[in-house]
Amino acid sequence: MQDIEPAANYAMNASNCPVASAVQTFSGKWKPIMLHMLAEREMHFAQIIRALPKASKKVLTDQLRELEAEGIILRTPTNERRPRVIYSLSELGKSLAPILLELYYWEKSRRIEHRNHAA
């Protein structure tokens, strides 16, 4: 494992922090949920829209484009009579999935701990 640089290295510019940069990559109201869904299976755009009824098409499109630009997801047009676009995790996205799963468990544990202290 590599050594972690001192936090002081990022004191003047937080965007240089690898953790801050990584979190920014998948931050967004719907990105973590879309990544969770795509970790389970590939989906076409209409399936994503139906799965997230409270999200606007524009926001989902923008966030999918951002994830594609970051190399986290793949966008594959189909050659069908009614063309569709299939979204899936790239290899980079697949490597992110266990990290997001750990964040999931961390947050679930934190919520339980918080609830226990509040009681």
The least confident of 20-24, 33-37, 107-111 is 20-24
pLDDT value at residue 47: 96
Region for 89 from its dihedrals, namely left if φ exceeds 0, alpha if ψ lies in -120 to 50, beta otherwise? beta
| pLDDT for 7 | 83
Answer whether residue 92 shows pLDDT above 80. Answer: yes
Domain ranges of the chain: 29-118
Q: What is the mean pLDDT of residues 43-55?
A: 96
Q: Of 3-12, 78-87, 98-107, 108-117, where does mean pLDDT reach its minimum? A: 3-12
Mean pLDDT of the chain, nearest integer: 92
Cβ atoms within 10 Å, residue 28: 17
Q: In Å, how far are 14, 33, 41, 66, 80 from 60, measured between CA atoms? A: 27, 11, 17, 10, 23
Residue 1 is predicted with a pLDDT of 59
Q: What is the pTM of this model?
A: 0.85
In percent, how much of the chain has pLDDT > 90? Answer: 66
Query: 29-118 has which fold?
Result: Arc Repressor Mutant, subunit A (1.10.10)
**Residue 8's pLDDT is what?**
85
Three-state secondary structure string covering the chain? CCCCCCHHHHCCCHHHCHHHHHHHHHCCCCHHHHHHHHHHCCEEHHHHHHHCCCCCHHHHHHHHHHHHHCCCEEEEECCCCCCCEEEEECHHHHHHHHHHHHHHHHHHHHHHHHHHHHC
Note the pLDDT of residue 6. Answer: 85
